[in-house]
Structure 1
């Protein structure tokens, strides 16, 4: 399964600039240390694996943010396709192939 998720701490424990950088970094650190395939972009962290292992990592990431924030928001989107692996990169590769050279639709 693929999961795209975003964790957002709120409340008085946000960092000294009013941002969430340190808490989000702690959550991403949990994901990266999990050993599961993952990537982070400007809006989400994507992770791939079996249901139980992915959800356990998401829970640990939420828990680490909750250590410093009285309130945690979680947005999660999942693509559940049993028997498929390597989709974190393969889905993007299929789109790039469809776009063709130079990012154009087969042109």
Structure 2
């Protein structure tokens, strides 16, 4: 099977655990790190990039870990992007916008 790189924007929200979610977010960051994935935390989620199967396995593992931490329910929103015409990293996408901002100043 041909490899399929994917970029995912994921927002995992445990339910029934109160309003402070930092420990759960940190646990998922650890999952992404242990999986060897490139990830970038932002204010309302995390961007993750890697091979499709590895990213999806890490998402599943995040659910497992957060349930193990006591969350009875989890809701997760994801946006996924793939492309086959060329390799593009999260940093490439950020750099493209930054370069345009410099030119427009």
User: Does the alignment reach a TM-score above 0.5?
Assistant: yes
Task: Name the SS of the counterpart of 1:8 in structure 2.
Answer: strand
Report deviation, 1:28.
1.4
Alignment pair present for 1:61 and 2:62 = yes
- Of 9, 14, 26, 1:4 maps to 9
Task: Name the SS of the counterpart of 2:36 in structure 1.
Answer: coil
Equivalent residues of 1:49, 1:85 under 8 A apart = no
Q: Distance in 2 between matches of 1:82 and 1:50?
A: 13
Alignment TM-score, normalising by the size of structure 2: 0.84
Unaligned runs of 5+ in 2: 1-5
Unaligned runs of 5+ in 1: none
Higher strand share: 2
- Of 64, 71, 83, 1:81 maps to 83
Alignment RMSD: 1.6
Alignment TM-score, normalising by the size of structure 1: 0.82
Cα 1:84–1:43 change in 2 (3 A) is farther
Q: Distance in 1 between matches of 2:21 and 2:59?
A: 17
Equivalent residues of 1:6, 1:76 under 8 A apart = yes
Structure 1 equivalent of residue 47 of structure 2: 46
Structure 1 equivalent of residue 74 of structure 2: 72
Q: Residues 33-58 of structure 1: CA distance to partner in whole angstroms, max 9, x if unpaired?
A: 21111111111111111111111111
Q: Distance in 1 between matches of 2:79 and 2:42?
A: 15
